[in-house]
C-alpha cells in the first residue's frame, strides 16, 4: 500500500508529464500552423540564402518599438547569428494605403536599396526621425522632405539624382501597400512583427525570448 508521500510524488510526476505534453502540443501546433513568408527582390536581405533560420521583420520608420529593435537587438542578432551564417534577416515595410505623409521614408529606403545602401540608410532614418517625421499633408511631404531624404542619400555617397528620380516616381508605393496587406493576411497586426521560420511574433520580444526561438529552430 502506497504512503501519502508516495501518492503525492506519483501525482506530481503525472502532473509534470501532462504539463510537458501540453506545452509540446501547443508549441508544435504553433509551428505547424505557421506560414512561410514570401520574399521579393524588393526586400532588403542580409545573411546567406541557405541559413537554417529566416527572420522576416515588418517594421515602420514611425514606430519607436521598431527603432528599439534596431538599437537593442539587431546588433546582437547580426553579430551572433547573421554574420555566423545561422540567420537570414529580411526587412519589409508596414504602411497602410492612407499613410501618404508617412510612406516617403519607406519609399526612400527602397530607393537606397536600389544602390545597395539600404542598411546604412535604414539607420539614418531611425536615428534622425525628428527631422522628417512631423505629421503633415501628402503635398507638404513631397515639397519639404524629399530634399531631406536626398541629403541623406548624398551623405552616404549615393547617386542623388538617380535616388530622387526613384523617390519622385513613387515606383515602390504600390509594393509597400501590398506588403502591408500581406502582413495582415499572415496575421500581423502591429509593428514590429517578426516571422521566424514562419512563426509569428507580434510585437517586440525580449532578447532572451528572441534567442530561445532562434535556438529552437537552429538545433531542433
Torsion sign (Cα): 153, 159, 162, 165: positive
Does residue 215 carry a pLDDT above 70? yes
**Considering the entire predicted model, what is its pTM?**
0.81
45-219 is a CATH 3.40.710.10 domain: no
Cis link prior to 192 (omega < 30° from 0)?
yes
Q: Give the burial class of 112: count Cβ atoms within 10 A of its Cβ; 0-12 exposed, 13-18 middle, 19 or more buried.
A: buried
What confidence score (pLDDT) does residue 2 get? 52
* C-alpha cell read off for 172: 515602390
Q: How confident is the model at residue 29 (pLDDT cuts 50, 70, 90)?
A: very low
Alpha helices, DSSP H, located in the chain? 4-32, 64-68, 74-77, 103-114, 118-127, 129-132, 138-155, 160-169, 173-186, 207-219
Q: Domains of the chain: which residue ranges?
A: 1-33, 45-219
| H-run or E-run covering 88 | strand 87-93
Question: How many C-beta neighbours within 10 Å does residue 186 have?
Answer: 18
DSSP 36: P
The pLDDT tens digits for 99-149 are 777 899 999 999 999 999 999 999 999 999 888 877 666 666 666 667 889
* C-alpha cell read off for 155: 551623405
Does residue 18 carry a pLDDT above 80? no
Angle at 60 between CA 111 and CA 145, to 5 degrees: 50
* C-alpha cell read off for 94: 508596414
Does residue 61 carry a pLDDT above 70? yes
What confidence score (pLDDT) does residue 44 get? 97
d(CA 212, CA 81): 13
Amino acid at each position: 500500500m502506497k504512503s501519502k508521500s508516495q501518492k503525492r510524488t506519483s501525482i506530481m510526476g503525472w502532473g509534470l508529464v501532462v504539463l510537458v505534453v501540453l506545452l509540446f502540443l501547443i508549441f508544435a501546433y504553433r509551428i505547424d500552423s505557421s506560414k512561410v513568408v514570401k520574399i521579393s527582390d524588393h526586400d532588403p536581405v542580409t545573411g546567406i540564402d541557405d541559413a537554417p533560420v529566416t527572420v522576416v521583420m515588418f517594421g515602420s520608420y514611425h514606430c519607436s518599438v521598431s527603432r528599439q529593435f534596431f538599437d537593442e537587438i539587431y546588433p546582437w542578432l547580426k553579430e551572433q547569428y547573421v554574420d555566423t551564417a545561422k540567420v537570414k534577416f529580411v526587412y519589409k515595410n508596414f504602411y497602410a494605403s492612407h499613410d501618404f505623409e508617412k510612406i516617403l521614408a519607406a519609399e526612400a529606403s527602397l530607393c537606397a536599396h536600389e544602390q545597395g545602401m539600404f542598411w546604412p540608410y535604414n539607420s539614418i532614418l531611425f536615428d534622425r526621425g525628428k527631422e522628417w517625421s512631423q505629421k503633415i499633408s501628402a503635398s507638404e511631404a513631397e515639397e519639404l522632405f524629399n530634399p531631406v531624404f536626398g541629403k541623406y542619400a548624398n551623405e552616404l555617397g549615393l547617386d542623388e539624382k538617380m535616388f530622387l528620380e526613384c523617390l519622385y516616381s513613387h515606383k515602390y508605393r504600390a509594393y509597400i501597400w501590398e506588403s502591408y496587406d500581406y502582413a495582415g493576411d499572415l496575421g500581423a497586426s502591429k509593428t514590429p512583427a517578426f516571422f521566424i521560420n514562419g512563426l509569428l511574433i507580434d510585437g517586440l520580444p525580449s532578447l532572451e525570448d528572441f534567442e530561445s526561438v532562434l535556438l529552437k529552430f537552429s538545433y531542433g
